[in-house]
């Protein structure tokens, strides 16, 4: 009988928590610590060790001062260059100061579309508010990904 | 006869290692993405927002050189949406075990029978340790947890 091979799927959950005064800058989230940046030049990326598929992203607020919307963007950077190519984006809003304190918002596959990053690319996640939402507070963020290991 | 296959439940794993001089009654929350332990209150190192329901599966806890004997209690707790008040953190379950001087470089294994805990989507999640006495000088504590995801 021939050998039956199929991809093995693992799941990964990453913690992207930060303390920050977001303002309206695009904030690139960390994958392995709690240090965010406002450029695509830092260590705030995750190199895909196999094909990776986006499942969901959750972000929980603390106190909100101003109504705003929040955009999540997913980027990938090809092997051989350093340009972050946008794969998908979606905004949630309005997120309201009077009702949404300490609330969690979700970005799912249904929101972002089929985001599948090939092996070897560098993945970055960013968030950006259209109006400064709050002072410096903690932003609790997690993402879930599928890892599709090649058959060996 | 039907052949039943084990249900495949997605699981994820976290390293919670940190270095600390644990003193009596000094409650420390395990970090999720750093090596910085914290108190049990909302903050970037000790809290994880659950993107889906998460059920505790396993935890491995490894000691270094133990010079004293004492009990430690490992607990899992959550904070619902709508509040940031540490007093509202609910302990889902706790498990106490003794670490003695004969447990140098020993790994303790906890599973769902020891800690029955499911954190709900949107909640903040903590795991913390509460020693009943000074556990000796500053040490590395090696901790790994596994969680089932309801996705």
Kindly state the DSSP code that residue A136 receives in the 8-state scheme.
S
Q: How remote is the C-alpha of A11 from its chain's centroid?
A: 15
State the Cα torsion A21-A27-A30-A36 to the nearest 10°: -50
Chain A residues lying within 8 Å of B14, measured CB to CB: 13, 15
Report yes or no: B30 at the A interface, CB cutoff 8 Å: no
Fold classified for A11-149 = Jelly Rolls (2.60.120)
* CA proximity to B129, closest of B49, B25, B17: B25
Q: How remote is the C-alpha of A134 from its chain's centroid?
A: 20
* CA proximity to B51, closest of A62, A59, A118, A69: A59
Kindly state the DSSP code that residue A4 receives in the 8-state scheme.
P
Question: Structural domain boundaries of chain A?
Answer: 11-149
CB B49 within 8 A of CB B84: no
Q: Is B87 helix (H, G, I), strand (E, B) or coil?
A: helix
Name the band, by pLDDT with cuts 50, 70 and 90, for residue B145: very high
- Residues B49-101 pLDDT 10s: 999 999 999 999 999 999 999 999 999 999 999 999 999 999 999 999 999 99
Structural domains for chain B: 11-149 (2.60.120.680)
Token pair, residue B91, equals 């302990």
pLDDT score for B2:
58
pLDDT score for A47:
96
Can you list the residues of chain A whose pLDDT is less than 50?
1-2
Report yes or no: A125 at the B interface, CB cutoff 8 Å: no
* CA proximity to A88, closest of A60, A111, A104: A111
Token pair, residue A81, equals 């260059």
pLDDT score for A1:
41
CB A59 within 8 A of CB B122: no
Q: What is the mean pLDDT of chain B?
A: 95
Report yes or no: B68 at the A interface, CB cutoff 8 Å: no
Pick among A10, A13, A34, A44 to test the B interface (most B CBs inside 10 A): A13
Nearest-CA distance from B121 to chain A in Å?
9
Phi, psi (rounded to 5 degrees) for B35: -120, 25
């Amino acid at each position: 009988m021939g050998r039956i091979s199929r991809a093995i799927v693992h799941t990964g959950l990453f913690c992207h928590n930060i303390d920050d005064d977001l303002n309206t800058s695009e904030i690139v989230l960390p994958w392995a610590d709690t240090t965010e940046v406002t450029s695509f030049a830092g260590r705030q990326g995750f190199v895909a060790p196999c094909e990776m598929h986006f499942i969901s992203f959750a972000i929980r607020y603390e106190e909100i001062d101003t109504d705003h919307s929040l955009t999540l963007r997913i980027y990938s950077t090809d092997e051989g260059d350093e340009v972050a190519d946008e794969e998908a984006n979606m905004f949630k809003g309005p997120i309201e100061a009077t009702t949404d304190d300490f609330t969690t918002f979700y970005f799912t596959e249904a929101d972002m579309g089929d985001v599948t990053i090939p092996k070897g690319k560098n993945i970055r996640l960013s968030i950006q508010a259209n109006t400064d939402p709050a002072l410096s507070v903690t932003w609790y963020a997690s993402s879930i990904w599928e890892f599709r290991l090649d058959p060996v | 006869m039907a052949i039943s296959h084990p249900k495949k439940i997605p699981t994820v794993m976290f390293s919670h290692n940190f270095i600390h001089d644990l003193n009596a009654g000094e409650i420390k929350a395990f970090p999720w993405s750093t090596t910085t332990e914290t108190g049990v209150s909302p903050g970037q190192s000790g809290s994880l927002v659950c993107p889906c329901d998460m059920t505790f599966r396993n935890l491995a806890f490894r000691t270094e050189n133990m010079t004293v004997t004492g009990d430690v209690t490992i607990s899992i707790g959550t904070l619902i949406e709508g509040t940031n008040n540490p007093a509202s953190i609910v302990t889902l379950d706790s498990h106490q075990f003794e670490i003695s001087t004969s447990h140098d470089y020993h790994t303790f294994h906890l599973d769902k029978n020891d800690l029955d805990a499911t954190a709900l989507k949107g909640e903040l999640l903590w795991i913390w340790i509460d020693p009943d006495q000074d556990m000796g000088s500053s040490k590395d504590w090696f901790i790994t947890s596994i969680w089932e995801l309801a996705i």
